[in-house]
Amino acid sequence: MKKGKEPTAETKKVVYHVFTRLFGNTNTTNKPWGTIEENGVGKFKDFTPKALKEIKKLGVTHIWFTGVPHHALVNDYTAIGISNDHPTVVKGRAGSPYAVKDYYNVNPDLAVKPENRLQEFEDLIVRTHAAGMKVIIDIVPNHIARKYEGKTNPRGVKDFGANDDTSVEYRKDNNFYYIPNSQFEVPDIVPPLGGEYDASQHEPFIEIPAKWTGNGSRMAKPDRNDWYETVKINYGVRPDGGYDFPFLPWGYDTESYKVHFDFWKDKEIPDSWKKFRDIALYWTKKGVDGFRYDMAEMVPFEFWSYLNSSIKMKNPEAFLMAEVYNPDQYYNYIKMGKMDYLYDKVGTYDKLKDVIQGRSWPDELSHIQQSLGGIEHHMLKFLDNHDEQRLASPEFAGTPERGKPLMVVSATISTAPVMIYFGQEVGEAANEDGGFGTRSRTSIFDYVGVPAHQRWMNNGKFDGGQLSESEASLRDFYKRLLNFTLESTALMGEFQEIQYANRYHVEGYDTGIYSYVRWSDNQKLIIVTNFSSDNSSSFDLKVPNLVIEKWDLADGTYKLVDQLYKKTKLTLTVSNREGVVPMTISPSESFILQL
């Protein structure tokens, strides 16, 4: 397939990823396996106009609210017609947001009045738009909760599996895969709810026949490490790997979403495709501006062409991002599946983690960036999210300050969006034992508080009133960096590494130093970071002939001003079409030097 040069957006996008039920929780009890009453929970209403204004001022364009669709959890909402979920097929007490129970409503835990939960979320959409930001929520197409139960389906919408033939393993229009003549058995797991739940005192969870588990296990009794709380959705992929849907024609990688939309108009497609299209368009109509797709590579990219083109026909500006971890499939999911953005985890994220943990030099970052070629703009950068160890945790960077150079590179090396996870900007390290969730990751399964974030929240004032001096300084750093990315034309322009011109040719250019240039017609940047948290480095940075020629710089001296703090002022001297910048850079320091 042809890989032409990618068009880029006019300005950077910055995504603020927030775990919705944790954001507004002021409770500091953090009892392992604590109940909602003991440990507290945040609500939609906690995203006040003031809170949203402060997020916007941080330099944010989009908020990804995680855990919004109603998912399985251990709480009693039978008074408003919601059935209880069985603790043996719920992870934690608060439940995994990736075991969705009802796609046409929202998590009742997040509402002040659970019976009014949908309206409370719609009000949050309005508030977020009023604050000048776009709204993203999750869609999890690969799997749903074992006990899916749509209580507020729009007219004509039937639940997943309602029309399935359960006597066979597979049929194209079945929503699930079945294990005929079997009964689901809970895997050998530790007792739910930290042992509080005694299975002998309750009716067991019944599923006859058993279904395939979300990660693809075909066992009636899955392994404890399988996604046993979920069941896999059938997209017309036969058990032998064959497909019961049309292939996209050759050359559709260069076609627009409108052409893709037209292609699917008269095609016979599996029922699950239609169900997820209807779900996405339901939320689009309510004002949701985009979606984050969980484990997208477990679903054929032809489905994504169908879904994403349908969404784009309703909202051409929709922000569509996905988890895809197989680099060999990036191009297909972006070009054929019409994804806007994929996680750049296997490349940039993993390399940065290796660098800060001393397993690698940073030089290979240049190769990773250049290897992305025509899909560079689509590879979203991040350092922190709900799946990964916190940047500031001992298991990752060790301290928030050691994470700073990683953040500068993530935000400036590419034209792609950059994402931060709530609390990252104040150094949250996730030291809590939530129960099902373990430390180093902010638990997505438990009712917990997020201590550093709570200090910024300051009991709902959202003014950072309880932050330490170092935490406040860190948030100021993030605010400066992210706002700079929004305003910089160079960051939407060209990239050129200058690492190799310096690595083996410049005295004092230590192993932790990494440098590159970014430029547009009206802005020229030299970016230098020091990944060492122990050593200052002094050297004469070389700006090679290739860059001097591209920038069309005559011999002479040029002033350079750091754009983060405006305090560092250096000089670029150009002689015989080569440039030199004498500098000293402190441990964990970064410069974004503008010509």
Indicate if the alpha-carbon torsion angle 35, 36, 41, 44 is positive or negative: positive
Can you give the pLDDT at residue 199?
Answer: 63
For the whole model, what pTM was predicted? Answer: 0.96
Residue 256 and residue 263: Cα distance in Å, rounded? 11
Q: Which residues contact 79 (CB under 8 A, 6 or more apart)?
A: none
Residue 63 and residue 274: Cα distance in Å, rounded? 27
Asked whether the bond before 209 is cis by omega within 30 degrees of 0, the reply is yes
Residue 45 and residue 62: Cα distance in Å, rounded? 18
Residue 359 and residue 8: Cα distance in Å, rounded? 33
The DSSP symbol for 510 reads: -
Residue 327 and residue 179: Cα distance in Å, rounded? 33
Can you give the pLDDT at residue 202?
Answer: 74
Can you give the pLDDT at residue 201?
Answer: 59
Can you give the pLDDT at residue 1?
Answer: 33
Whether 439 and 432 have beta carbons less than 8 Å apart is answered as yes
Whether 518 and 537 have beta carbons less than 8 Å apart is answered as no
SS3 assignment, position 343: strand
Indicate if the alpha-carbon torsion angle 466, 470, 474, 480 is positive or negative: positive
Give me 139's structure tokens. Answer: 């869609």
Q: How do beta strands 100-106 and 134-139 pair?
A: unpaired
Q: What is the dihedral of CA 92, 94, 96, 98, to 10 degrees?
A: 160
Per-residue pLDDT of the chain (595 residues; tens, 9 = 90+): 333 344 444 789 999 999 999 999 999 999 999 999 999 999 999 999 999 999 999 999 999 999 999 999 999 999 999 999 999 999 999 999 999 999 999 999 999 999 999 999 999 999 999 999 999 999 999 999 999 999 999 999 999 999 999 999 999 999 999 999 999 999 999 888 988 876 655 788 999 999 999 999 999 999 999 999 999 999 999 999 999 999 999 999 999 999 999 999 999 999 999 999 999 999 999 999 999 999 999 999 999 999 999 999 999 999 999 999 999 999 999 999 999 999 999 999 999 999 999 999 999 999 999 999 899 999 999 999 999 999 999 999 999 999 999 999 999 999 999 999 999 999 999 999 999 988 899 999 999 999 999 999 999 999 999 999 999 999 999 999 999 999 999 999 999 999 999 999 999 999 999 999 999 999 999 999 999 999 999 999 999 999 999 999 999 999 999 999 999 999 999 999 999 999 999 999 999 999 9
Whether 442 and 386 have beta carbons less than 8 Å apart is answered as yes
Whether 283 and 125 have beta carbons less than 8 Å apart is answered as no
Residue 443 and residue 459: Cα distance in Å, rounded? 21
Can you give the pLDDT at residue 418?
Answer: 98
Average pLDDT value for the chain: 96
